[in-house]
Amino acid sequence: MDNTKALFGKRVRRLRKAENLSLEKAAERARLSGNYWGEVERGRKVPSLDTITSMARALGVPAHHLLLLEREEGEKALRGKLDSLLNKSKPQEIELIYRVVKAIIEP
């Protein structure tokens, strides 16, 4: 499977799930068949620009968000990277990191 198609499909699936939409509901909103939407998510179909725009509208995101194809990491991998960074940090850096994270989470 072409890596670009696979990354696009994974991004569409992640955004759909983040919106708590079933595949069928998302496809209905985009006026697509559920089979076609599923084929896109599996990286087997390449949607046209018009279809990408319809899919984005169904997901409630700008179309360009679907095209951000950098590899996305899971929560477990990100937690591991954070742990690694914290283990290398000095006490003053850890305190600063804590304050920044707290400000983001508890505004």
The pLDDT profile of the chain, 107 residues, written as one tens digit per residue, is 458 888 899 899 989 999 999 999 999 999 999 999 999 999 999 999 999 999 999 999 999 988 887 666 667 777 888 999 999 999 999 999 999 989 988 86
pLDDT recorded at residue 1: 45
* Alpha-carbon span 32 to 47, nearest angstrom: 11
Predicted TM-score of the model (pTM): 0.65
In the DSSP assignment, the letter for residue 60 is T
**Angle between the N-to-C axes of helices 49-59 and 23-30, in degrees from 0 to 180, rounded to the nearest 10:** 120
Q: What pLDDT score was predicted for residue 79?
A: 86
3-state secondary structure of 48: coil
pLDDT at site 3: 84
